[in-house]
Amino acid sequence: GVAVGSAFPPALLGRAGGMIGSLLLLIPFMVVIILFSQWFYERCAGFDRPTAFFSAVPGGLTDMTAMAEEAGANQRAVILVQASRILLIVFSLPLWLRFHDGLAAASAFAGRTRLHELAAADVLVLAGIGLAGVMIARRLGLAGAPIVGPMILSGLAHALGLTSAKVPVEVLTVAQVSVGVLLGCQFRGLTWSEFRSTMIWGLLNTAALLVLTALVVSLVSRLTGFDQVSVLLAFAPGGQTELNLLTYVLGLD
């Protein structure tokens, strides 16, 4: 969250008005995704309505599964569908960007701050932003508090020019590996029966969403003038944590 927030430079405040158009287009896009996916899971996969809904909403894995349990949905099915969707998107987008646009994480990492280059004061500032962000977000009851709180607080601090400290490469590497391991852990105990009856529906739905996303990204890019790569990562129905981190690592907008 702190790393993603640090990507908001002071110049961003002057560009904020130009982003309203793409944000407004995001709303109907999300409605279409949810309605289509819920119909797909109910009619094709045979899920009950609560399970279909929480499987359809492209939110954070932790948030969706927690709310699914409270609503009486099949939590295991929601976990498998949500994890398979995020995993497929996080796996396929970097490959597409690498071969289609020539982007690679290695080149983006080359210009990043190293741990030994960071001053002690900057370490304290970044750590303080992270801790304060989590505490404030939890107090406000925000979903995804561990990333949303630090991201907003870090974004404000960097956009207002209060600090220019960046999270070092070594920490980002640990964060990426951790996200990958946590995603993989969601499939523990997966049986062939569960794959055939649950997970494969998540993969099929994600494939359809990627095709729909590609069409919408082309439209949004033409209407707003933003480059298609940044729009793709902004509109891709993956997890906020995974896509924000991927965008930051690749050095995109």
Lowest mean pLDDT among 22-31, 48-57, 148-157, 242-251: 242-251
Measured distance CA(186)–CA(218) in Å, rounded: 33
Q: What is the mean pLDDT of residues 41-58?
A: 93
Measured distance CA(196)–CA(177) in Å, rounded: 28
Whether 232 contacts 217, CB under 8 Å: yes
pLDDT for residue 135 is more than 80: yes
- pLDDT single digits (tens) 167-177: 888 888 888 78
Report DSSP state, residue 115.
Answer: G
The full DSSP string for 16-60 is GGGGHHHHHHHHHHHHHHHHHHHHHHHHTS---HHHHHHHHS---
Measured distance CA(241)–CA(246) in Å, rounded: 9
List phi, psi (to 5°) of 8: -95, 95
**Sign of CA pseudo-dihedral 113, 118, 121, 123:** positive
Where do runs of H (alpha helix) occur along 102-225?
Answer: 105-109, 120-140, 145-159, 169-185, 192-194, 200-224
Name every residue whose Cβ is closer than 8 Å to that of residue 60 and which is 6 or more positions away in sequence: 143, 144, 239, 240, 241
- pLDDT at position 249 is 76
Q: What is the mean pLDDT of residues 111-117?
A: 78
- pLDDT single digits (tens) 210-224: 999 999 999 999 988
- pLDDT at position 106 is 55
- pLDDT at position 105 is 57
pLDDT for residue 57 is more than 80: yes
